[in-house]
Chain A
Amino acid sequence: MIPEFGLYCLILAFCFSIAQGVLPIAGSYLHSARWMRIASPLALTTCALLCGSFAALVYSFITDDFSLKYVANNSNTLLPVQYKVSATWGAHEGSLLLWLLVLSFWAALFALRSTKLPTVLRARVLGVLGLVTTGFGAFTLFTSNPFMRNLPFIPPEGSDLNPLLQDFGLIIHPPMLYFGYVGFAIPFAFAIAALLETDAPLRSSVSNEWTRWVRPWVNTAWAFLTIGIALGSWWAYYELGWGGWWFWDPVENASFMPWLAGTALLHSLAASDKRQLFSSWTLLLSIFAFSLSLLGTFLVRSGVLTSVHAFASDPTRGYFILAFLAIVIGCSLTLFAFRAPTTPSTGYRFLSREMFVLLNSCLMAIILAIVCLGTLYPLMADAMQWGKISVGPPYFNSFFIPLMFIVLLLLPVGVQLHWHDRHTFKELFFQWLKKPFVAALFFSPVLLLALSLPFSILALLAAWLGLWVVISTLMDIRHKLRNAHTPWQGLKSLRASYWGMCLAHIGLALSAMGIAFTSLASEQQDIRLAPGESASLAGYHFSFESLSQNNGPNYTAQHANFRVIAPNNESHMMLPEKRTYLASSQVMTEAAIWPGFTRDIYVSMGEALQPEMGATSPWSLRLHIKPAVRWIWLGAILMALGAVLAVLDKRYRHVRLHTSASQEHVSS
C-alpha cells in the first residue's frame, strides 16, 4: 500500500511539473497573470508530493518490504537501520528520486524567496525549473521506477547494500553532491528566463541585473558541491582501503567539472554584479555549470563507465539521459546564440581586477576542457571503434598541477587590484605584493621544518605558493583595519562577503598545500607480516601483535592489532579489519587510521597469505605515512564556509530587480 502511495505521488508530481513547465511560460507570453501566478503553488505542490514519494521509499526500506525490486536488490534485514535509510539513495532508481526531490526542493525554495521578483521573470524561472523536473520525472518514471514490485514471488531476504556504501561518508555524500549539482539549476533557469525575454532592451537590462539576485544561490550550490566532492574524496581515502584520495576517475571528474564551471561562474558573477561586465559570459557559464551537472549524471548513471557508481547498465537509460542532455544543451545554446546580450563591455586595463576575473575564467575553462577531454576521450574512442582505452592520472596531473600553480600565483594579485584599478605593476608590487612575496619565501622552509617534511625544490615551491596566498590574504585584512579605532571594531565592520572571500582563498591554499605535501612526501610500503613480527617505515615502528575475530551486525571480521610507535615514542593501537559481509559474502577492507593535523598513519590489510595457518598466517599489509593529507579536506571545508558566509552578506538580503517594474502590471 505504502509503495503504491509513493508511486501515486511520483506520478502526480510528474503531472504537476508538466503544468509548472508549460503554464507559467505560456502565460508570460500570453500576458495571463493567472497562469503566471500558478507557478509558485505548483512548485510547492510538486515538492510536497516528491517528499511523500521519497518518504514512502524510505519507509519501504525501513520495514524491509522486499516485494519492491529495488528494496530487495539493495537492502537486507541485517542491515543497520541508518544504512537502510541511506540505501534509499544507494543505487540508481532511488538516487534519481533523490535528484528529483532535491530539484523540486530548490524550486520550492526559489518560489518562497522570490516574491519580490517581477512576475514575468519569476514565472519563467519556475517554468524552466518545471521543464527540467518534467524531464527527470519522465526518466525516473519510465526507465527507473523505484516502486516496481517483485510479484508474485517475494524474496524472503534482500541481497544487501554494496558493503562499500555501508558507511557514514556515503550516507551524506550523495545528498550533498546532489544539492550542489542541482543547485546550479537555479542560475541555469535564471539565464534561460533572461534569454526568453523577447524585448531586446529589457533583456539586456535583465541580463545585467539578475546577477546580484542569483549570487547567493550560486554560492550555496557551490558550497554544497565543494563539500560533496570533499566527502567523496575522504570516503575513497578511508573506505577503499588504499589510501588514495583522488584517482581522476571519470566519476570524480564528473563532479569536478561542474565545480570548475561553478568556480568560474562565482567569480564572473562578481564582475557582472559590480561592474556590469561579462554578462554574456556569465549567462553562458550558468548554462554550462548545469549542463555539466547533467553530463555528470549521464556519465555516472548510464553505465558507460567502469566504476563503483555505475550500477546496472541498462542502455535505454543511457540513451534517455543522452537525449535529455542533447535537448537541454542544444536548446539553451541555440537560445543563447540568438538572444545573448550584445551590449559592448566597457574597456578595462590589463592590470585590473576585471582582467584577473577574466583570467580566472580562462584558467578554469582551460582546466575544464582538459578534464573533460580526458574523461570523454575513452568514450569517444570506444564509440568510434578506435579501441578501448583509458586515460591515466599522469595526463591529468601534467596539466592540472602547472595550471593550478598559475591560478594560485595570480590569485593574490587579483585580490589586491581594485575594480578599474589605476596602478602600474611596479606600484602594485612594491606597495602590496613585496611583503607577502618575501614573507612567504622566509616562512616556506619554516613550514617544511615544522611539518618535518623533506626539503625539495617542489615542496619549497608548494609551501611558498600556499603561504603567498595565505599571507597576502592576512595582510589585506590587516590593511583593511588600518583606520579602525580598535582592531575588534574593524573586524566587525568588514563585510561578510569579504570574510567569505578570504576564508575561501585560504582554504584553497590549504588544500593545494595538502595535495602537494601528501603527493611529494608520502611513504608507502606493501609488506608481508605474520602476527608477532614488526616493521618500520619512516621512523614509525609497526608491530603486528595479534589477529582476532570481531563480528558486526551483518558481517564477520578479522582484525589485526597493531601497535604503532611514533619517532617521539608516542604509542597508538591501530585495528585494521578485513570484513566478510554475510548476505553477499563480499570481502571489504576497513583501514585503520591514526589521524593527525601534520600526518596520517594508515594501515590496511591485504589478505591472509597462508589461510590454512589460521590466526598465525602471515598477511599482506599496506602501511602509509601521509603528511598533511587532512589539509585537503580542511581546505575544502573552509572554501564551503567562505561561500556560505558570503551568502549572509547584508547586501543580498533585500535585493529587488527594478528594471522590469513596469512589467508588473502588464497583464493584470
Chain B
Amino acid sequence: MHPIRKQRLLIVLAILIASSVAIGLITFALRENMNLFFTPADITSNKAPMDRTIRLGGFVDKGSVKRDANSLAVQFSIGDGQHSIPVTYTGILPDLFAEEQAAITKGKWDGKIFVATEVLAKHDENYTPPEIRDSMKKMGPKPAAHPQ
C-alpha cells in the first residue's frame, strides 16, 4: 500500500477505536452517575430502588421539621398531600427550605427512611422545579395548603 494511504488508514482506524472506546466509557459513566427522580407516591408503591442514590421531590409537610438539640441533624417529611416519606439530613438547609414549600432531596431510600445527602429548594418564590410541577399535575389538584 502507498505509505500515505497506509498512514491515513491507520489514522482512521485509530479514530474509530478511540471513539468507540469513548462512547463505551461515556455510556458507562452516564449510567453510573445519573440520579432518577421519584415522587413520594412512587416510593410508597415500592417503585424506587433501594440503596441507590436517587432524588425525591415534593412538598415539605407542615409541622414535620424537627431539629436535633445538639447537632445539625434534622428530620422532616416530604409528601404530595396523600403520601409522606420521612427524611433525615445532617447539615445546612438551603435558604428557601421551608414547610409547605417544594424541595428536592438527593440520597438513598432504605425501606423506612430516606437518608438525604443533599437538599435543594427552589431558587425563588415563584418557581417550582419542573419535576415537582409535573408530578403535582399528575396527582390532580395541589395540596390546598400550598399557596401557589
B93 at the binding interface (Cβ < 8 Å)? yes
The answer on a CB contact under 8 Å between A391 and B30 is yes
A388 at the binding interface (Cβ < 8 Å)? yes
Query: Interface residues, chain A, CB within 8 Å of chain B?
Result: 162, 164, 241, 303-304, 306-308, 310-313, 347, 366, 370, 373-374, 377-378, 387-392, 394-395, 398-399, 526-528, 584, 586-589, 606-607, 609, 620-622
Within 8 A of A (CB), among B28-48: 29-30, 32-37
Known contacts A308-B124, A370-B26, A395-B30; can you find 15 more A-B pairs with CB under 8 A? A307-B123, A378-B34, A388-B37, A388-B134, A390-B35, A390-B55, A391-B35, A394-B29, A395-B33, A395-B34, A587-B96, A606-B92, A607-B92, A609-B67, A609-B72
Instruction: State the CA gap A308–B125 with chains docked (Å).
Output: 11
Q: Quick one: closest B residue to A622, CB to CB?
A: B92
The answer on a CB contact under 8 Å between B35 and A620 is no
Distance in angstroms from B88 CB to nearest chain A CB is 15
A306-B130, A307-B123, A313-B130 known; A528 vs B71 contact (CB < 8 Å): yes
B4 at the binding interface (Cβ < 8 Å)? yes
0 or 1 for each of B8-22: is its CB under 8 Å from A? (1 = yes): 000000000000001
Instruction: State the CA gap A536–B72 with chains docked (Å).
Output: 17
Number of B residues near A (Cβ < 8 Å) is 32
Q: Quick one: closest B residue to A307, CB to CB?
A: B123
The answer on a CB contact under 8 Å between B30 and A377 is yes
Choose from B30, B93, B96, B130 the contact partner of A586 (Cβ within 8 Å). B96
Instruction: State the CA gap A133–B124 with chains docked (Å).
Output: 31
Q: Quick one: closest B residue to A381, CB to CB?
A: B34
A395-B30, A395-B32, A587-B96 known; A162 vs B124 contact (CB < 8 Å): yes
The answer on a CB contact under 8 Å between A389 and B35 is yes
B143 at the binding interface (Cβ < 8 Å)? no
0 or 1 for each of B75-99: is its CB under 8 Å from A? (1 = yes): 0000000000000001111011000
Interface hub of B26, B32, B92 (most chain A Cβ within 10 A): B92
- Contact partners of B91 in chain A: CB under 8 A: 526, 620
Instruction: State the CA gap A390–B71 with chains docked (Å).
Output: 30
The answer on a CB contact under 8 Å between B34 and A377 is yes
Choose from B70, B95, B126 the contact partner of A589 (Cβ within 8 Å). B95
Instruction: State the CA gap A378–B32 with chains docked (Å).
Output: 14
- Main SS of the interface on chain A? mixed
The answer on a CB contact under 8 Å between B95 and A587 is yes
Q: Quick one: closest B residue to A605, CB to CB?
A: B92
- Contact partners of A310 in chain B: CB under 8 A: 127
Interface hub of B29, B95, B125 (most chain A Cβ within 10 A): B95
Distance in angstroms from A379 CB to nearest chain B CB is 11
- Contact partners of A387 in chain B: CB under 8 A: 36-37
- Contact partners of B93 in chain A: CB under 8 A: 606-607, 620
- Contact partners of A621 in chain B: CB under 8 A: 92
Distance in angstroms from A225 CB to nearest chain B CB is 24
Distance in angstroms from B95 CB to nearest chain A CB is 4
The answer on a CB contact under 8 Å between A373 and B34 is no
Distance in angstroms from A554 CB to nearest chain B CB is 15
The answer on a CB contact under 8 Å between B131 and A388 is yes
- Contact partners of A374 in chain B: CB under 8 A: 30
Instruction: State the CA gap A586–B122 with chains docked (Å).
Output: 11
The answer on a CB contact under 8 Å between B29 and A395 is yes
Choose from A164, A241, A366, A392 the contact partner of B34 (Cβ within 8 Å). A392
Distance in angstroms from B108 CB to nearest chain A CB is 14
Instruction: State the CA gap A388–B4 with chains docked (Å).
Output: 49
Instruction: State the CA gap A640–B29 with chains docked (Å).
Output: 33
